[in-house]
């Protein structure tokens, strides 16, 4: 953001300069502004949009004639541009003027040039083809001696510049970083920031210069460099931890008012700069105690200084709070920050309130108790007249949803949902409700079946057509997969079926298509759970829907799938027959096919039943993915001269290459396909499953996506008919379902009861709010309450039904009562009247008890999981001093323990050198150790793979048993172990090695290999040590030994190329020394040297070649990489630069 | 990140627009109409930040002129709110007491915005 401010401020001197240099063309200015003024006035005077359009079209046709007339002077052109800009701003196409804008920027004098550049930046966008015409002008202006021209060129570069042309201007801009004028330096930094945004790897090599910019004596330059740092730190904070001190110092200076007064805004020193710095600190200090400690002081100072009552200080405070809660926590600061949030939330100023809510939403994830402090304010905001405030509050509540408050929160969300019209809000909110309910299928908070289904119905009917497709899918999966308890699941399904049938009974209601799809799937799968409605009735309803014109054809496919599933269960099938008749003549091919399928299936009822078994949607099906049973058929067809199968993408590529007359594309496309054609070459007529396997892949995908429809359930277990069992179970358990009303209703009832029997000291409204508060913030209380209620039902049912909990908890009424009291008194900050609550509690005992017992269950499990982490924390704190003593020990007694280990290492190295000597290998690096063992690792760069060797040396005098090394599976690597990775015994003071072959699966730049070793000491406990090793792409680069001729061939066939000039030091300038560096450090193979040019080749294991052509000009090395892999050249270039600069 | 910067009068006529991300011309007009509609519907008791589609609008009203900034959700709303005012102050300084009800001459204002 502040880069705009930056730019704005930067513009001032430039403008003044310009006005001076242009002198006083007042007359010209007046005439051109008056013509524009005339146009503007003309438009403002008009009343209708239609008239405006007419006027502007007129204006545009005039302009079109003027700009293309040869007699038009540049001065007139400038005036035309201004009017064109205005017309385009109003939304009328002025593309005929684009080329003239570029011309003006090329040819005009200062002011004309400026208008030209301005027009270009407003008209064009980054990928516009005309922009290429501007590159030369920019290069020329960058080299100009006129500061204003340089400024303009830098500005346009930081606004729009084609990505491919960056190398053309990069060296020029880099030079500008050393310019004597700060405005130029600043603009150069901003231009580089732009490059960093659009092509980060092109500016990788100038990171060191950014540091210089950060330390620039001019504040503006420093501030500009912060944008780059913010971005880089966001991507990888660990690489810039060493700069924390600098950022802290800068912020200290800014906060302390050390900056020139020009940077003050309403006597606050450089507020936007402060905000940027705070953000950077937040990123750096995240999860890093040591770094965070550096910034505590300055954060405290910022919080203290920003007490002035001005909006911009609130903005700084907000950022401060954000940072305090992002970094490693410090209680003192948290307290201050919390106070700050309190001030915001309670402020009568609406903007501040919004800011407070936003801060609270962020903070609440770390510290839920803060919500309790402000619960009454939150409740007020929930009914705030401003919908934006309301929405922000809902966002906050969404973050604190738990099993106890879900009904209330979801109800509030639904209320808002019903009011809102805007599609985006609906999508967002529906997503959140569904997220709370369904998406976390592992543990949904929903309290009971009826509520769950009803809420989902509401969600589907409001947001059905716009919601994310995951939502219905996840909902159906939840229904199908069910939870631990089978009877619960059956009831949930039954309830869903019942509620859908009721919904479908309602006449003249249109449900969203997605909702209908969900309904049809559920009805098709679970109608068998019904006992009174026979399948015929369900079929009738489905039929009615099928005949409905408002139903989309996609939904109809779902419906007919449901019908197909129900058909074998139905006794009479008039409807099905009618339906078949209806749709076998349908114009919709898809429907017609379904109808025919159904028709044929019905002829064999036994087959149909085994094909569509009841309640088997979750069973795994066995599919012959290779379709090997078709092999005979395929072979026969091929022998009769049929063309072999080609996968879809190949067919398309071939088609494309045939159609192409003139190839405008880079050659990459056609060459990359050569891999496929190679495989399909006529020699390979071993076609069978291998080829048909290709087609099976797509087939498999289809089955996956269609799984929910249940059509493809081909093979299931036979003989299992849960029909009767389910029915009897349902009869007894179906009854309580409708009786269970939603908690909210109960709460409402208690409110009315209270009102009747109590002498009211507070208004009813107030109480409702408090009640609402208590139901919203339940479950966020302190943990002491839970520990009291130690005995908790640990069986985790996802749908904890009230009745059940009641049974288990009825014995604990009294104790729980006490606890609820203490809970309330602790959480309600004296705003509540005790007697009121005691009464309420007695009345609500039943309901509340349930909630609290649930609460205890939930929190119990939470506290269980939290305990270890607490221990960890204390461990961490303890570990630092203990580490210290460790260090001391080593310092004091270095001779004894280290000597043997050194000896070990050397012996180890020598023992392995036999094997390693033939390959290059890295040094031995210790990866982890404890008092008994020490582990080191090194890499051997074998020709065909990377061999990782971990050597474990047993330092103790004892035997270690069943030592085992395991490497965690990594995304990028394939790891195969060499024999002997599990050793029964490691003798005392000996060394064992483990070897692993590592192969790369897909290209990456940096990756980690983690794993652990465990062993047993003296048959007692087993010890586990974790370690990780960093691997870079370089580890997989090998020389590629090819001839010059082959090099030439390959060179032409690769499409991805990268060119770059690298400056090298004197010593590197000689071709031979540069070659040597590349050969040694990057393992490139020197193919040939011709004069001052060199050809090198390497390959990325297993077999991605990359070629390098380079040429030496004085101290500049022109590197040119080509490869079949798109990312490889970039990466190698980066490595080359590093190597060249490093040596 | 700022996505766009708009100055629109109460009649819905755009006085200045600058997009920092490319938007098609016809989509711009639609967007601007929607933006000004949602700004006009707000009262002074309501907050100056609007959640609009997948981004946020921050607006300030000066007489009959609205200045609206569209940002993504990583932005500090209050900082932008004050930035608008800063911008206006700078304009005021440069054009020496601009009457905001009259229009700006387009290129000079752009000079600020663009640089």
**How does pLDDT run across B9-55, given as a tens digit for each residue?**
888 888 888 888 888 888 998 999 989 988 988 888 888 998 888 88
Do B42 and B50 form a contact (C-beta atoms < 8 A)? yes
Do A423 and A793 form a contact (C-beta atoms < 8 A)? no
Tens of pLDDT, residue by residue over A626-662, are: 777 788 888 888 888 888 887 777 777 777 766 655 5
* pLDDT-based confidence at residue A281 (cuts at 50, 70, 90): very high
Chain A residues with CB under 8 Å of B38 CB are none
Contact between A126 and B22 using a beta-carbon 8 Å cutoff: yes
Q: Chain B closest CA to A130's CA: distance in Å?
A: 15
* pLDDT-based confidence at residue A667 (cuts at 50, 70, 90): low
Q: DSSP label at A531? A: S
For residue A391, what pLDDT is reported? 84
> How much helix, strand and coil, in percent to the nearest 5, is found in chain A?
65, 10, 25
Tens of pLDDT, residue by residue over A1104-1138, are: 888 888 787 777 778 888 887 777 788 778 777 77
Tell me which residues of chain B, numbers 67 to 86, contact chain A at a CB-CB cutoff of 8 Å. Answer: 71, 75-83, 86
Chain B residues with CB under 8 Å of A85 CB are 106-107, 110
Is residue A25's pLDDT more than 80?
Answer: no
The DSSP string of A812-832 is: GHHHHHHHHHHHHHHHS-S-S
Beta bridge partners of A961: A985, A1016
Taking only Cα atoms into account, the Rg of chain A, rounded to an integer number of angstroms, comes to: 37
**Closest among A293, A171, A277, A180 to A229, alpha carbons compared:** A277
Over residues A420-434, the mean pLDDT reads 77
For residue B85, what pLDDT is reported? 92
Q: HSE-up of A822 (CA within 13 Å, CB side)?
A: 14
Chain B residues with CB under 8 Å of A391 CB are 51
Site from A47, A91, A356 to mutate, B interface, most B CB atoms within 10 angstroms: A91
For residue B80, what pLDDT is reported? 92
Percent of chain A topping pLDDT 90:
12
Contact between B115 and A115 using a beta-carbon 8 Å cutoff: no
Query: CB within 8 A of A632, min separation 6: which ones?
Result: none
**Token pair of A554, please?**
């996609």
Q: Which of A454-458, A708-712, A844-848, A953-957 has the lowest mean pLDDT?
A: A708-712
Contact between B46 and A272 using a beta-carbon 8 Å cutoff: no
Tens of pLDDT, residue by residue over A836-879, are: 444 444 444 444 444 444 444 444 444 444 444 444 444 433 33
Cα–Cα dist B91/A591, whole Å: 65
For residue A484, what pLDDT is reported? 67
- Give A481 or A779, the one with higher predicted confidence: A481
Tens of pLDDT, residue by residue over A548-580, are: 888 888 888 888 888 888 888 877 778 888 888
CA dihedral A824, A827, A832, A837 (to 10 degrees): -10
Over residues A585-602, the mean pLDDT reads 85
Q: Which of A204-208, A419-423, A773-777 has the lowest mean pLDDT?
A: A773-777
- Give A740 or A509, the one with higher predicted confidence: A509
Coil, strand or helix at A952: strand
- Give A688 or A600, the one with higher predicted confidence: A600
- The dihedral built from the CA positions of residue B19, B24, B28 and B34, taken in this order, carries a sign that is negative
Cα–Cα dist A820/A779, whole Å: 11
H helix count then E strand count, chain A: 50, 18
Q: Chain A closest CA to B80's CA: distance in Å?
A: 7
Contact between B48 and A351 using a beta-carbon 8 Å cutoff: yes
Name the burial class of residue A462, with classes exposed (0-12), middle (13-18) and buried (19+) by CB atoms within 10 angstroms of its CB: buried
Contact between A85 and B1 using a beta-carbon 8 Å cutoff: no
Over residues A350-376, the mean pLDDT reads 84
> Please, what is the Cα angle at A941 between A937 and A942, to 5 degrees?
120
**Distances in whole angstroms, Cα of residue A580 to Cα of each of A114, A480, A593, A809:** 73, 28, 10, 56
Contact between A36 and B25 using a beta-carbon 8 Å cutoff: no
Chain B residues with CB under 8 Å of A90 CB are 13-14, 29
**β-strand A920-921 against A960-967: which pairing, if any?**
unpaired
Tens of pLDDT, residue by residue over A978-1011, are: 665 556 666 777 777 777 777 777 666 667 777 7
Q: What is the average pLDDT value for chain A, to the nearest integer? A: 72
Q: Chain B closest CA to A315's CA: distance in Å?
A: 5
Tens of pLDDT, residue by residue over A680-736, are: 433 333 343 444 444 434 434 333 433 333 333 334 444 333 433 333 333 333 334
Coil, strand or helix at A451: helix
Q: Which of A5, A89, A388 sits opposite B86 (nearest CB)?
A: A5
Q: Chain A closest CA to B67's CA: distance in Å?
A: 15
Q: Chain B closest CA to A281's CA: distance in Å?
A: 16
Over residues A1054-1081, the mean pLDDT reads 74
Beta bridge partners of A287: none
Do A295 and A285 form a contact (C-beta atoms < 8 A)? yes
Residue of A nearest to B30 (CA): A91
Q: Which residue stretches of A1007-1099 are H helix?
A: 1044-1053, 1066-1069, 1071-1081
Over residues A125-145, the mean pLDDT reads 90
Is residue A767's pLDDT more than 80?
Answer: no
Tens of pLDDT, residue by residue over A289-312, are: 999 999 999 999 988 887 777 889
Tens of pLDDT, residue by residue over A877-930, are: 333 333 333 333 333 343 344 334 444 444 444 444 444 556 677 777 777 777
Contact between A118 and B107 using a beta-carbon 8 Å cutoff: yes
Q: Which of B26, B46, B50 sits opposite A91 (nearest CB)?
A: B26
Chain A residues with CB under 8 Å of B54 CB are 424
Q: DSSP label at A922? A: P
Is B61 an 8 Å CB contact of chain A? Answer: no
Is residue A755's pLDDT more than 50?
Answer: no
Site from B27, B77, B78 to mutate, A interface, most A CB atoms within 10 angstroms: B78
Contact between A88 and B25 using a beta-carbon 8 Å cutoff: yes
Name the burial class of residue A197, with classes exposed (0-12), middle (13-18) and buried (19+) by CB atoms within 10 angstroms of its CB: middle
For residue A187, what pLDDT is reported? 93
Chain A residues with CB under 8 Å of B29 CB are 90-91
Do B21 and B32 form a contact (C-beta atoms < 8 A)? no
Buried b (16+ CB within 10 A) or exposed e, A585-594: eeeeeebeeb
Cα–Cα dist A217/A221, whole Å: 8
* pLDDT-based confidence at residue A538 (cuts at 50, 70, 90): confident
For residue A877, what pLDDT is reported? 39
Query: CB within 8 A of A276, min separation 6: which ones?
Result: A2, A223, A226, A227, A230
Q: Which of B16, B47, B78 sits opposite A386 (nearest CB)?
A: B47
For residue A899, what pLDDT is reported? 39
Over residues B84-96, the mean pLDDT reads 84
Over residues A73-89, the mean pLDDT reads 88
Size of interface A-B (CB pairs under 8 A): 137
Site from A8, A53, A151, A390 to mutate, B interface, most B CB atoms within 10 angstroms: A8
Is residue A581's pLDDT more than 80?
Answer: yes
Residue of B nearest to A351 (CA): B47
Convert A372-423 into a string of H (helix), E (strand) and C (coil). Answer: HHCHHHHHHHHCCCCHHHHHHHHHHHHHCCCCCCHHHHHHHHHHHHHHCCCH
pTM for this entry: 0.58
Q: Which of B13, B51, B110 sits opposite A44 (nearest CB)?
A: B13
Is residue A442's pLDDT more than 60?
Answer: no
Q: Chain A closest CA to B111's CA: distance in Å?
A: 7
For residue A304, what pLDDT is reported? 86
For residue A686, what pLDDT is reported? 39
Chain B residues with CB under 8 Å of A36 CB are 105-106
Tell me which residues of chain B, numbers 94 to 113, contact chain A at a CB-CB cutoff of 8 Å. Answer: 94, 103, 105-107, 110-113
Tens of pLDDT, residue by residue over A192-221, are: 999 998 888 888 888 888 888 998 889 999
Coil, strand or helix at A971: coil
For residue A993, what pLDDT is reported? 76
Site from A32, A311, A387, A388 to mutate, B interface, most B CB atoms within 10 angstroms: A388
Is residue A492's pLDDT more than 50?
Answer: yes
For residue A192, what pLDDT is reported? 92
* pLDDT-based confidence at residue A1067 (cuts at 50, 70, 90): low
Chain A residues with CB under 8 Å of B18 CB are 122
Contact between B82 and A271 using a beta-carbon 8 Å cutoff: yes
Residue of B nearest to A318 (CA): B76
Cα–Cα dist A592/A571, whole Å: 24
Q: Chain A closest CA to B1's CA: distance in Å?
A: 6
Element housing A378 (H / E):
helix A375-382
Site from B76, B104, B112 to mutate, A interface, most A CB atoms within 10 angstroms: B76
Q: What is the average pLDDT value for chain B, to the nearest integer? A: 80
Chain B residues with CB under 8 Å of A82 CB are 106-107
* pLDDT-based confidence at residue A789 (cuts at 50, 70, 90): very low
Tens of pLDDT, residue by residue over A31-68, are: 445 677 788 778 777 778 888 888 899 999 999 998 88
Q: Chain B closest CA to A1024's CA: distance in Å?
A: 42
Site from B89, B106, B109 to mutate, A interface, most A CB atoms within 10 angstroms: B106
Cα–Cα dist B97/B103, whole Å: 13
For residue A467, what pLDDT is reported? 80
Over residues A1067-1075, the mean pLDDT reads 70
Do A979 and A992 form a contact (C-beta atoms < 8 A)? no
Coil, strand or helix at A1015: strand
């Amino acid at each position: 953001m502040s880069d705009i401010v930056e730019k704005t401020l930067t513009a001032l001197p430039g403008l003044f300069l310009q006005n001076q240099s242009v002198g006083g063309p007042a007359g010209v200015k007046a005439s051109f502004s008056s013509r524009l003024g005339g146009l503007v006035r003309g438009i403002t005077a008009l009343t209708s949009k239609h008239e405006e359009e007419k006027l502007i079209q007129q204006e545009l046709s005039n302009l079109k004639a003027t700009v293309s007339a040869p007699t038009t002077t540049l001065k007139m052109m400038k005036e035309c541009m201004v009017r064109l800009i205005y017309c385009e701003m109003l939304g009328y196409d002025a593309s005929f003027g684009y080329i003239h804008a570029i011309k003006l920027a090329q040819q005009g004098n200062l002011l004309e040039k400026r208008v030209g550049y301005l027009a270009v930046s407003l008209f064009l966008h980054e990928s516009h083809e005309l922009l290429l015409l501007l590159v030369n002008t920019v290069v020329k202006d960058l080299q100009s001696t006129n500061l204003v021209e340089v400024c303009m060129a830098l500005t346009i570069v930081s606004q729009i510049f084609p990505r491919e042309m960056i190398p053309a201007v990069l060296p020029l801009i880099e030079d500008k970083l050393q310019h004597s004028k700060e405005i130029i330096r600043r603009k150069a930094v901003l231009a580089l920031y732009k490059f960093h945004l659009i092509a980060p790897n092109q500016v990788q090599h100038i990171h060191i210069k950014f540091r210089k910019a950060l330390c620039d004596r001019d504040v503006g330059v420093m501030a500009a460099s912060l944008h780059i740092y913010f971005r880089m730190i966001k991507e990888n904070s660990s690489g810039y931890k060493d700069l924390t001190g600098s950022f802290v110092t800068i912020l200290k200076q800014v906060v302390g008012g050390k900056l020139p007064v020009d940077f003050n805004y309403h006597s606050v020193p450089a507020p936007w700069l402060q905000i940027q710095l705070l953000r950077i600190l937040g990123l750096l200090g995240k999860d890093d105690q040591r770094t965070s400690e550096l910034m505590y002081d300055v954060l405290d100072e910022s919080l203290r200084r920003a007490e002035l009552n001005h909006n911009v200080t609130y903005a700084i405070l907000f950022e401060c709070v954000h940072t305090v809660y992002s970094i490693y926590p410090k209680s003192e600061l948290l307290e201050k920050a919390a106070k700050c949030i309190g001030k915001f939330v309670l402020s009568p100023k609406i903007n501040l309130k919004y800011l407070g809510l936003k801060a609270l939403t962020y903070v609440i994830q770390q510290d839920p108790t803060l919500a309790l402090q402000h619960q009454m304010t939150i409740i007020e905001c929930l009914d705030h007249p401003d919908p934006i405030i309301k929405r922000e509050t809902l966002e906050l509540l969404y973050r604190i949803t738990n099993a106890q408050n879900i009904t209330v929160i979801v109800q509030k969300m639904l209320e808002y949902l019903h009011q809102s019209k805007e599609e985006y809000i609906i999508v967002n909110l529906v997503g959140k409700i569904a997220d709370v309910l369904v998406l976390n299928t592992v543990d949904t908070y929903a309290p009971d079946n009826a509520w769950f289904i009803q809420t989902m119905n509401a969600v589907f009917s409001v947001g059905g057509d716009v919601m994310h497709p995951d939502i219905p899918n996840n909902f159906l999966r939840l229904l199908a997969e069910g939870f631990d308890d089978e009877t619960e699941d059956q009831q949930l399904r039954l309830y869903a079926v019942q509620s859908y049938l009721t919904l479908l009974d309602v006449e003249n209601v249109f449900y969203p298509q997605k909702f209908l799809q969900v309904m049809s799937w559920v009805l098709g799968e679970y109608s068998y759970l019904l006992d009174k409605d026979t399948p015929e009735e369900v079929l009738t309803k489905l039929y009615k829907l099928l005949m409905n014109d408002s139903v989309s054809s996609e939904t109809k496919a779902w419906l007919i799938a449901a019908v197909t599933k129900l058909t074998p269960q139905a006794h009479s099938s008039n409807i099905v027959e009618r339906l078949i008749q209806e749709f076998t003549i349908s114009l919709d091919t898809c429907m017609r096919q379904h109808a025919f399928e159904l028709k044929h299936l019905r002829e064999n009822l036994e087959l149909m039943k085994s094909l569509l078994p009841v309640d088997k949607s979750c069973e795994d099906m066995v599919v012959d993915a290779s379709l090997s049973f078709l092999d005979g058929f395929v072979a026969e067809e091929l022998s009769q001269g049929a063309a072999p199968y080609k996968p879809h993408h190949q067919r398309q590529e071939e088609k494309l290459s045939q159609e192409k007359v003139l190839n405008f594309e880079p050659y990459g496309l056609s060459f990359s396909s050569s891999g496929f054609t190679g495989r399909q070459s006529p020699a390979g007529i071993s076609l069978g499953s291998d080829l048909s396997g290709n087609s099976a892949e797509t087939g498999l995908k289809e089955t996956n996506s269609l799984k929910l429809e249940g059509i493809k359930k081909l093979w299931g277990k036979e003989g299992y008919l849960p029909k009767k069992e389910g029915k009897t179970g349902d009869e007894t358990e179906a009854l309580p379902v409708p009786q269970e009303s939603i908690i909210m209703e109960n709460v409402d009832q208690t409110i009315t009861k209270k009102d009747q029997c109590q002498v009211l000291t507070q208004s009813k409204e107030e109480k409702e709010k408090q009640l609402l508060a208590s139901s919203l913030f339940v479950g966020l209380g302190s943990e002491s309450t839970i520990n009291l209620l130690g005995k908790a039902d640990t069986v985790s049912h996802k749908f904890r039904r009230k009745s059940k909990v009641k049974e288990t908890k009825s014995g604990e009424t009294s104790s729980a009562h006490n606890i609820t009291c203490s809970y309330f008194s602790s959480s309600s900050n004296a705003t509540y009247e005790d007697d009121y609550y005691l009464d309420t509690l007695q009345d609500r005992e039943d309901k509340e008890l349930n909630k609290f017992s649930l609460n205890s269950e939930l929190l119990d499990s939470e506290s269980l999981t939290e305990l270890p982490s607490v221990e960890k924390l204390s461990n961490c704190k303890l570990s630092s001093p203990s580490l210290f003593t460790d260090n001391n020990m080593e310092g004091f007694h270095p001779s004894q323990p280290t000597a043997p280990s050194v000896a070990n290492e050397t012996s180890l190295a020598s023992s392995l050198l036999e094997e390693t000597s033939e390959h290059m290998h890295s040094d031995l690096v210790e990866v982890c150790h404890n008092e008994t063992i020490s582990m080191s690792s090194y890499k051997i760069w074998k020709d065909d793979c990377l061999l990782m060797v971990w050597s474990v040396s047993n330092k103790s005098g004892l035997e270690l048993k069943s030592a085992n090394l395991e490497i965690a599976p990594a995304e990028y690597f394939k790891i195969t172990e060499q024999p002997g990775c599990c050793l029964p015994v490691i003798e005392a003071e000996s060394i064992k090695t483990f070897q692993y072959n590592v192969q790369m699966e897909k290209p990456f730049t940096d990756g980690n290999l983690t794993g652990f070793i465990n062993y047993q000491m003296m048959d007692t406990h087993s010890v586990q040590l974790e370690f990780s090793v960093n691997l870079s792409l370089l580890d997989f680069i090998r020389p590629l030994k090819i001839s010059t001729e082959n090099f030439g061939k390959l060179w032409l066939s690769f499409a991805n190329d990268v060119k770059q000039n690298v400056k090298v030091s004197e010593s590197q300038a000689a071709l031979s020394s540069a070659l040597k560096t590349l050969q040694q450090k990057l393992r490139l193979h020197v193919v040939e040297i011709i004069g001052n040019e060199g050809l090198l080749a390497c390959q990325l294991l297993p077999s991605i070649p990359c070629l390098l052509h380079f040429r030496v000009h004085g101290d500049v090395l022109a590197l040119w990489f080509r490869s079949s892999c798109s990312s490889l050249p970039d990466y190698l270039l980066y490595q080359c630069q590093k190597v060249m600069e490093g040596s | 990140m700022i996505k766009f910067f708009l100055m629109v009068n109460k009649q819905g006529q755009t006085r200045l627009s600058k997009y920092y991300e490319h938007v098609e011309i016809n989509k711009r007009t639609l967007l601007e109409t929607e933006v000004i509609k949602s700004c006009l519907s707000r009262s002074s008791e309501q907050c100056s930040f609007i959640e609009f589609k997948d981004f946020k609008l921050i607006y300030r009203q000066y007489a009959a002129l609205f200045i609206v900034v569209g940002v993504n959700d990583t932005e500090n709303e209050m900082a932008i709110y004050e930035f608008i005012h800063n911008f206006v102050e700078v304009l005021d300084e440069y054009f020496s007491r601009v009457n905001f009800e009259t229009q700006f001459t387009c290129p000079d204002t752009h000079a600020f915005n663009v640089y």
